Structure 1
Amino acid sequence: MPTEDEPSERYLQGLATRRTVLGEAHVERALANQSGFDGPFQSLITEAAWGHVWSRETWTKRERSMVTIALLAALGHYEEMAMHVRATARTGATMDDIREALLHVAIYAGVPAANQAIKVAREALAGMKEGEGHGDEGHGQAAL
């Protein structure tokens, strides 16, 4: 049984998946910037989001990427959505996949949400083409 100082197997699995999807630089930044205040949150998302959900083998990383982008867009979490658009460089989701996910957002979550999401996605994709992002940028300590 792991202690509080010893990470669980699920945490270690989540950390590996998180590095695969978001990139080494992003994860190292998030870990380096964590404090005593948000450290438990970083552990929670690493274990739950990345270890429990993203590490499942039922869907591919590409499929999870598309669903995540659509959900974040529908909920108006555009900064996180941009991070996941950049992560498509590692998940295999294409520009066509992103567009299809955002078309679903327009119908099921509303045109205003999709309109803003398309703007954010275009900016993230343009940054990737210009060499600014390789899927490992993210902003804020709370970034998934």
Structure 2
Amino acid sequence: MDEAPDNATRYRAGLTVRRSVLGDPHVDRAEDAATDFDGPFQHLITEAAWGTVWARPGWTKRERSIVTLALLAALGHDEEVALHVRATANTGATRDDICEAFLHVAIYAGVPAANRAFKIAKDVLSEMDGGEGADDR
């Protein structure tokens, strides 16, 4: 079995993956806004979520993106759903992938959760296309 990377290595790997998925502007904003109070949290998610889980071999960024969208939608984490819909521009997950993920959410986590996720995704995708959100039309 391979030796586990040390914390600094996981953090550096996590920062690279986080930037590649969420984009430099988002990560820069998060790092710039970090304080002594929430800085340890920013470090934790970079190291653990991005450097340990997202950096693992076996699944592509597209696959991780699809699963992440479904989980966030099922749990009702609306802001994170929007963030990760935007991230699909970097992960290779398609609009069809997003739709399929949310259809699974409807069956396994409930129609209201999927309904909300579809609304959020429609708004975000419209913004990404240069249009207005669905509520602005």
Q: Distance in 1 between matches of 2:131 and 2:120?
A: 17
Aligned to 2:20: 20
Q: Say whether residues 1:64 and 2:64 are aligned partners.
A: yes
Aligned to 2:3: none
Aligned to 1:55: 55
Aligned to 1:82: 82
Aligned to 1:138: none
Structure with greater Cα Rg:
2
Q: Distance in 2 between matches of 1:86 and 1:54?
A: 17
Q: How many angstroms does 1:127 deviate by?
A: 0.7
Q: 1:131 to 1:87 in 2, by over 3 A?
A: farther
**What is the count of residue pairs matched by the alignment?**
126
Q: How many angstroms does 1:131 deviate by?
A: 7.4
TM-score, L = length of structure 1: 0.85
Residue identity in the other structure for 1:79 = E
TM-score, L = length of structure 2: 0.90
Large movers: runs of 4+ above 3 Å = none
Q: How many angstroms does 1:25 deviate by?
A: 0.6
Q: Show structure 1 runs of 5+ residues with no match.
A: 1-6, 133-144
SS of 1:8's partner is helix
Cα RMSD (Å)? 1.2
Q: How many angstroms does 1:67 deviate by?
A: 0.3
Identity of aligned residues (%): 67
Q: Distance in 2 between matches of 1:93 and 1:104?
A: 15
Aligned to 1:103: 103
Q: Indicate the structure whose relative CO is greater, using CA pairs within 8 Å and at least 6 residues apart.
A: 1
Which protein has the bigger helix share?
Answer: 2
Q: Distance in 2 between matches of 1:107 and 1:70?
A: 11
Q: Distance in 2 between matches of 1:17 and 1:131?
A: 29
